[in-house]
């Protein structure tokens, strides 16, 4: 076919760039790097597609997550978008909840913002380990019903759950504060060493091995009990 | 250098002719401005029609100089005495026949068993004037379709093809005696102009001494022209002899009136230099832009006069939504031809956007069928042109504004498309205007989503 545009051969081509495209591209780049970091973490830490919740394992996974996100520039919106990516079953070849929550916690703990809000109520996937090792000076607000080990290892930060938390909420926390508007599951405050857990709803059960800290239910101190 | 000087001389002759007609024969006010110069649109378009072998439809009230302006332009540009032109004119009326328009059998020869065609002066002369064309019934308009389009006249088994010709037709506004000009015929006209009232003060002088065209008559030469036209000689020989007579009339005009006119060779030279003028990129892109807006339909693939597009169409803001018909392939031909002629007349080295902008309304006015609701919105607006020309001018203004807002982007889209066709891996530029969609269609994309 005749080239009907030949008269314009001498016109230099400009690549059109509208600001929205630039913003979208920048966000996509960040998202790609976040996804890449997560996949690397999963490949390194979950060799047999099985991930056991052992203290040493959790610590090692968190360290690997922190090193994976080094030099990454991101903000709260990127974290929220990454949650959506994790929720999308097609986005990752395999999704293992534990490392995903630890990776998200690493992102939250290393973000520039001091106050972070994540809206998770619309997601189908249950997120575990959110708020892991939340440091002092950080406030994390989580909206939605969450999985296990929420606020585990909390070390000075303030975690607000507008919804429910699963088992082992605040497990091994050393300081800071967890506020849950709904209920918490079994073994709330297991291996707790300091800080406070406030629950407005029912508490499924308390951790037996505790070394400090306080648990309140509807404003009333329930752990340590007066008799203890 | 010599060529340039010759070109300037020819241009000067045309300007002198324009001034002579304007000052002496066709008194009228200027009604348009191109690159700082004022023109009367009817006179300018008639002159360009004569120069570039075009076809012009002149509309207007009776007695406002539609036919006479065409006659003057023909007489001076082609060197025919006014009497010869009058003798070749075809007038539109319901009883008009092919024998009067094109040719008839030579009855004397027919009695002897020979079939010889006596061609009408209208078919023979290179200048053709059809007076009141819309008084021809629709069925008879088709008789002149081929001749109007190609200068190709056929009768019995004989045919002549005019090597050089231009056509002027006049039409009154609708009354009880007029018919609609059929779409295929009206589309064949390059331009449509209105011969306007000159205003009370100029009208006062019309018909006075020297303004009635008597100066353009030479009875002696007219008789010679008549004699050559009536002789039964082969067409090329007859045209050669007519050319000689035309030259004699030209000399007579120069001697009597001091007016320089154009010979056949001059006109050929003008056309050749006109054709060599290049179009600039904005001209090229804007014409594509215009054609896309007047032919595109997202829903039906292209405009069709028997298909009405939806009310909620995404392209409501463009002219494709305001017109009923699809613009024909003759529009870009007319626009290019007349713009080149205008650029030549103005002495420009390139045909640009200004030339196109000036010419486009006159090439569009008769070819565009507006939707009734669009006409209803516009018909009461204050204006100085007949509705068809006014709406075409407004449409061109609107499209030009749109083009200027995205000229760079349109040219870039066309450049990207060029590279894609040449095999480069690029994405076509996307945009809202129909031109971007047309480009993507040309690149083989199935464009359905808005």
Full domain range(s) for residue B363: 281-442
Same domain? For B55 and B198 the reply is: yes
Same domain? For B100 and B32 the reply is: yes
In sequence order, the 6+-apart residues with CB closer than 8 A to the CB of B366 are B57, B186, B187, B189, B192, B388
CB B58 within 8 A of CB B66: yes
Please indicate, yes or no, if residue B142 is contained in any of the structural domains: yes
The structural domains of chain A, with segments of one domain joined by +, span: 18-223
Residue B432 backbone phi and psi in degrees, to 5:
-85, -30
Please indicate, yes or no, if residue B447 is contained in any of the structural domains: no
Residue from the list B284, B422, B442 with its beta carbon closest to the beta carbon of A7: B284
Among residues B254, B275, B296, which one ends one of the domains?
B275
CB B412 within 8 A of CB A11: yes
pLDDT tens, residue order, chain B (450 aa): 778 889 999 999 999 999 999 998 999 999 999 999 999 999 999 999 999 999 999 999 999 999 999 999 999 999 999 999 999 999 998 899 999 999 999 999 999 999 999 999 999 999 999 999 999 998 888 888 878 888 889 999 999 999 999 999 999 988 888 889 999 999 999 999 999 999 999 888 887 765 566 789 999 999 999 999 999 899 999 999 999 999 999 999 999 989 999 999 999 999 999 999 999 999 999 999 999 999 999 889 899 989 988 778 889 899 999 999 999 999 999 999 999 999 999 999 999 999 999 999 999 999 999 999 999 999 999 999 999 999 999 999 999 999 999 999 999 999 999 999 999 888 899 899 999 999 999 998 866 555
Count Cβ atoms below 10 Å from residue A47 Cβ, excluding itself: 9
CB A62 within 8 A of CB A133: yes
Same domain? For B321 and B434 the reply is: yes
In sequence order, the 6+-apart residues with CB closer than 8 A to the CB of A35 are A82, A85, A91, A92
Please indicate, yes or no, if residue B448 is contained in any of the structural domains: no
Same domain? For B299 and B263 the reply is: no
Q: What is the CATH number of the domain that holds B81?
A: 3.40.50.300
Domains of chain B: total: 2
Same domain? For B190 and B330 the reply is: no
Please indicate, yes or no, if residue B450 is contained in any of the structural domains: no
Please indicate, yes or no, if residue B327 is contained in any of the structural domains: yes
Please indicate, yes or no, if residue B355 is contained in any of the structural domains: yes
Which pTM does this prediction carry?
Answer: 0.72
pLDDT, position B416: 95
Residue from the list B415, B426, B442 with its beta carbon closest to the beta carbon of A11: B415
Distance from CA of B446 to the nearest CA of A (A): 17
CB contact (8 A) between residue B419 and residue A13? yes
Q: Give the tens place of pLDDT for each residue, A187-227.
A: 999 999 999 999 999 999 999 888 999 999 999 999 887 66
Q: Beta A220-223 vs A214-217: how paired, if at all?
A: antiparallel
- Report DSSP state, residue A206: B
Cis preceding linkage at A224, omega within 30: yes
Same domain? For B314 and B341 the reply is: yes
CB B119 within 8 A of CB B103: yes
Same domain? For B66 and B175 the reply is: yes
Same domain? For B285 and B233 the reply is: no
Q: Which residues of A touch B429 (CB under 8 A)?
A: 16
Same domain? For B290 and B252 the reply is: no
Same domain? For B291 and B262 the reply is: no
CB contact (8 A) between residue A11 and residue B411? yes
CB B79 within 8 A of CB B253: yes
Q: Give the tens place of pLDDT for each residue, A42-56.
A: 777 766 556 666 777
Same domain? For B235 and B202 the reply is: yes
Same domain? For B147 and B185 the reply is: yes
Distance from CA of B426 to the nearest CA of A (A): 10
């Amino acid at each position: 076919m005749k080239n009907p545009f030949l008269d314009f051969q001498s016109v230099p081509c400009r690549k059109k760039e509208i600001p929205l495209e630039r913003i979208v591209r920048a966000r996509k780049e960040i998202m790609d790097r976040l996804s890449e970091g997560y996949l690397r973490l999963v490949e390194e830490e979950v060799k047999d597609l099985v991930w056991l919740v052992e203290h040493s394992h959790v610590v090692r996974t968190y360290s690997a997550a922190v090193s994976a996100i080094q030099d990454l520039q991101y903000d709260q919106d990127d974290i929220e978008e990454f949650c959506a990516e994790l929720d999308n079953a097609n986005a990752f070849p395999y999704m293992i909840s534990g490392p995903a929550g630890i990776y998200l916690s690493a992102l939250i703990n290393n973000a520039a913002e001091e106050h972070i809000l994540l809206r998770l109520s619309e997601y189908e996937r249950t997120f575990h380990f959110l708020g892991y090792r939340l440091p002092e000076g950080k406030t994390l607000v989580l909206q939605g019903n969450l999985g296990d080990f929420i606020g585990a290892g909390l070390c000075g930060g303030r975690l607000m759950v507008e919804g429910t938390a699963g088992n082992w909420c605040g497990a091994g926390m050393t300081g800071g504060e967890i506020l849950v508007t709904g209920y918490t599951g079994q073994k709330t405050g297991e291996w707790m060493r300091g800080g406070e857990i406030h629950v407005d709803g029912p508490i499924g059960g308390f951790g037996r091995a505790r070394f400090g800290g306080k648990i309140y239910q509807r404003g009333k101190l329930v752990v340590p009990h007066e008799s203890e | 250098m010599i060529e340039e000087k010759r070109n300037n001389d020819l241009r000067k002759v045309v300007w002198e002719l324009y001034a002579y007609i304007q000052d002496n024969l066709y008194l009228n006010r200027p009604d348009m401005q191109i690159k700082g110069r004022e023109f009367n649109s009817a006179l300018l378009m008639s002159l360009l029609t004569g120069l570039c072998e075009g076809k012009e439809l002149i509309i207007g009230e009776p007695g406002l100089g539609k036919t006479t302006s065409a006659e003057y332009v023909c007489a001076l540009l082609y060197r025919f005495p006014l009497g010869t032109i009058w003798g070749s004119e075809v007038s539109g009326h319901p009883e008009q026949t092919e024998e009067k328009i094109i040719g008839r059998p030579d009855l004397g020869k027919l009695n002897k068993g020979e079939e010889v065609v006596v061609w009408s002066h209208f078919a023979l002369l290179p200048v053709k004037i059809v007076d009141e064309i819309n008084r021809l019934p629709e069925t008879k308009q088709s008789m002149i379709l081929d001749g109007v389009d190609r200068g190709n006249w056929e009768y019995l088994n004989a045919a002549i093809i005019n090597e050089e010709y231009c056509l002027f037709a006049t039409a009154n506004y609708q009354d009880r005696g007029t018919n609609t000009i059929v779409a295929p015929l009206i589309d064949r006209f390059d331009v449509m102009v209105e011969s306007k009232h000159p205003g009370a003060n100029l009208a006062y002088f019309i018909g006075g001494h020297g303004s009635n065209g008597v100066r353009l008559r030479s009875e002696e030469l007219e008789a010679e022209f008549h004699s050559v036209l009536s002789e039964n000689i082969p067409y090329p020989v007859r045209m050669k002899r007519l050319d000689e007579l035309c030259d004699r009339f030209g000399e007579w005009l120069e001697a009597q009136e001091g007016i320089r006119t154009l010979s056949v060779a001059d006109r050929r030279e003008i056309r050749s230099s006109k054709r060599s003028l290049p179009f600039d990129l904005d001209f090229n892109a804007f014409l594509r832009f215009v054609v896309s807006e007047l032919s595109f339909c997202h829903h039906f693939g292209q405009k069709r006069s028997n298909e009405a597009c939806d009310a909620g169409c995404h392209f409501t803001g463009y002219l494709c939504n305001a017109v009923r018909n699809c613009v024909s392939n003759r529009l870009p031909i007319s626009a290019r031809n007349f713009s080149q002629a205008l650029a030549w007349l103005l002495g420009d080295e390139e045909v640009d956007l200004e030339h196109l902008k000036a010419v486009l309304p006159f090439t569009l006015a008769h070819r565009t069928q507006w939707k009734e609701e669009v006409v209803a919105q516009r018909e009461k607006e204050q204006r100085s042109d007949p509705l068809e020309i006014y709406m075409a001018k407004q449409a061109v203004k609107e499209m030009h504004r749109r083009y200027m807002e995205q000229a760079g982007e349109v040219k870039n889209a066309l450049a990207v498309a060029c590279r894609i066709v040449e095999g480069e891996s690029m994405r076509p530029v996307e945009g809202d205007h129909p031109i971007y969609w047309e480009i993507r269609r040309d690149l083989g994309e199935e464009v359905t989503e808005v």
